[in-house]
Structure 1
Amino acid sequence: MFLITFIYLKLQDRKDVAETTWNYIQVVLYNNPGLLALVLILMPLNWGLEAVKWRTLVRPLSGMSFMNAVKGVLTGLSLSFITPHGLGDYFGRVMQVNNPQRGRYIGAIMLGRFCQMVPTLLFGSVGLYYISVTALWIYVSSAVVLGGALLITYLVIRGRMISGIAPSEKLRVRINYYFGIIGMYSAREITAILLVSVLRYIVFAFQFGVILVLFLPEVSLHLNMAGVTWIFLSKSILPTFNFLSDLGVREFSAIYFFEKYHVDIVGVISASLTLWLINVLVPTITGAPLTLKMRLKTR
């Protein structure tokens, strides 16, 4: 609610925004078919990399084909579209796993999200620098990334000790059931997951950068990149509770960043909405039939 209010206050003096934004998006995309095609091509690559990561994460407990991994990712995306952040994604993914003990994959999902946060925090320090105009945030972010990497290393090497800190046998069994998978990954698998996470971040950031070039051609390359890293960082940190995935969070972050540099708000919102339409709404619609099939199977 706060984010929607913020956006409304920023736009209250621009009564024409709601009426012109959609037409503006159509005109810009129609006049730039080459760049639009590039953005569209990057969308399946982005989610394909996420499927590769998910396939690697489930490997210690069960095998999974690439297509089933894609189905799990798209199903999770579709369900998360109408549920609070994380819940729908978990149910959608694990329902595509060929293992009745689906609760054991909670640790895998948590590890995957943490690995994706590593490049988000690392590159996000660039955006923080532009927002705060101080290098302190860079050091703080680097420390968080380093600490997280050390935590992963500890969990991998001493993963079996996680349940050892529990005060009761019942609790130890539960902890091992839900998070024991974390100790099953080899250093090579952790490295692979981190590399895929970084590559996916780069693809996603490049995709957003191209969209910003379409709608904000006057923005310099370095400001474009800084804005992308800041928006991705904000989107990952700020909670999402609405039924339209992260819609609103990205727009809030974009306006907050670019208004400092006197960039046209209409262009900012148009670019953000275009990314949401292509990279979230389209794959969500694609995954909707898979969600229906999943519900039919469980009956």
Structure 2
Amino acid sequence: MTALIKSYKTNQLFFILIKLSIVIASFAFIYFKIAGLEKITYTDFFNIISSKNILSIQNILVLLVLTCLNWSLETLKWQSLVHPIKKIDFKAALAQSLGSLTASLFTPNRIGEYGAKALYFQPNLRKSILLINFLSNLLQLSITICLGGVGLSYLWLNFNQLALDYNNLLVYALFIIVILITLFVILNNSKYTIAGLSIPKLKQRISSYPKRLLTKGLLYSFCRYLIFSFQFYFSLQLFQVNINYFDAMSVIMSMYLIVSVLPSIFIFDVVIKGSVSVYLFSFLDVNELSVLCITTLMWLLNFVFPSLIGSYFVLSFKPVKSAAL
């Protein structure tokens, strides 16, 4: 009996150390990212937003409200999509969304989010949770691709100076074709598995998922997209960037499309978004420093701030055992 108690205490201590390690690693990544920005220092950033009176209480409130709406919609989407597997309340969905965000900071394309969310559920439900998380991200990506395609088309038709390297474009096109052919072969080969499910079973699970919930999830994804794209446009106005609304939105939509398909580690997300934004906004003659400041502000509001809140949920996380059904 004494040995069992010691073993239990050892496991508990080990689990606490893991949670602390995740939070400390997340904070370290954020700190070194902030300290290591090359094109803009945080001294420049705060000097600029102070000089333009961006940090007024009214502006801060509007930006924070938009951030809260963004993550509230993501939480509602997750709560809705997971409902057929297990009914959870908004607080639990928020803990899972923000906790998994924090835990996936240093993983490529936030892949760690899949495993982190699955840990909140019983082992027998985890394969289904992985699939639902995939569907959730796929819905958001679908909205990004559709609206991003509209934005790129608008830029192509209205800005003749939009320069494209056709050699690189051909290479990218061939790369995409190879990827699509590979996916087609995989999806038609029953030997491969995803999340422990064979391809036929995966197709069956997706096709049997309630269409009403998929439609609802798509609507949440669309509303989220409207929120964070408007937040970017609102930030442009705060930095006194006076450009046509449709021109600005076409660049914003194009930017989100491009960065969504680029592989990256989350902590470098601001660098990639900054580079793409500077390139695209250069066609509208927008000052590079203003674009970098806005991209940094968006990163702080929509990723760093929620990640800091998510660290609380990581520390308070308790493992779910198979007996808790």
Map of 1:95-114 to 2, 5 A cutoff? 95-98=119-122, 100-114=124-138
Tell me the distance in 2 between the aligned counterparts of 1:97 and 1:26.
45
Are 1:258 and 2:281 matched, yes or no?
A: yes
State the TM-score, normalizing by the size of structure 2.
0.70
Deviation for aligned residue 1:130: 4.5
**Can you give the 5+ residue segments of structure 1 that lack an aligned partner in the other structure?**
1-6, 136-161
Are 1:205 and 2:229 matched, yes or no?
A: yes
Structure 2 match to 1:191: 215
Map of 1:175-254 to 2, 5 A cutoff? 175=199, 181-241=205-265, 244=267, 246-254=269-277
Deviation for aligned residue 1:114: 1.4
Structure 2 match to 1:40: 64
Structure 2 match to 1:133: 157
**Can you give the 5+ residue segments of structure 2 that lack an aligned partner in the other structure?**
1-36, 160-185
State the TM-score, normalizing by the size of structure 1.
0.75
Tell me the distance in 2 between the aligned counterparts of 1:21 and 1:260.
23
Map of 1:43-122 to 2, 5 A cutoff? 43-98=67-122, 100-122=124-146
Is residue 25–residue 274 contact of structure 1 (8 Å, CA) maintained in 2?
no
Q: Which has the higher contact order (CA 8 A, sep 6+)?
A: 2
Change (3 A) 1:77 1:177: farther
Deviation for aligned residue 1:128: 0.9
- The percent of aligned pairs where both chains have the same amino acid is 26
Is residue 189–residue 199 contact of structure 2 (8 Å, CA) maintained in 1?
no
Are 1:275 and 2:289 matched, yes or no?
A: no
Q: Deviations over 1:26-60 (max 9, x none)?
A: 44354543233111111111111111111222222
Deviation for aligned residue 1:167: 5.2
SS in 2 for 1:281: helix
Is residue 131–residue 257 contact of structure 1 (8 Å, CA) maintained in 2?
no
Tell me the distance in 1 between the aligned counterparts of 2:112 and 2:190.
29
Tell me the distance in 1 between the aligned counterparts of 2:187 and 2:85.
18
C-alpha RMSD of matched pairs (Å): 3.2
Is residue 190–residue 200 contact of structure 2 (8 Å, CA) maintained in 1?
no
Deviation for aligned residue 1:164: 9.4
The structure with the largest helix share of the pair is 1
Are 1:289 and 2:312 matched, yes or no?
A: yes
Structure 2 match to 1:140: none
Change (3 A) 1:100 1:34: same
The structure number with the bigger radius of gyration is 2
Is residue 80–residue 245 contact of structure 1 (8 Å, CA) maintained in 2?
no
Change (3 A) 1:226 1:32: farther
Deviation for aligned residue 1:106: 2.1
Is residue 274–residue 292 contact of structure 2 (8 Å, CA) maintained in 1?
yes
Q: Deviations over 1:94-145 (max 9, x none)?
A: 222355431332221221111112221122123312443379xxxxxxxxxx
Tell me the distance in 1 between the aligned counterparts of 2:196 and 2:297.
47
Residue 104 of structure 1 aligns to which amino acid in structure 2?
Answer: S
SS in 1 for 2:84: coil
Structure 2 match to 1:155: none
Residue 125 of structure 2 aligns to which amino acid in structure 1?
Answer: Q
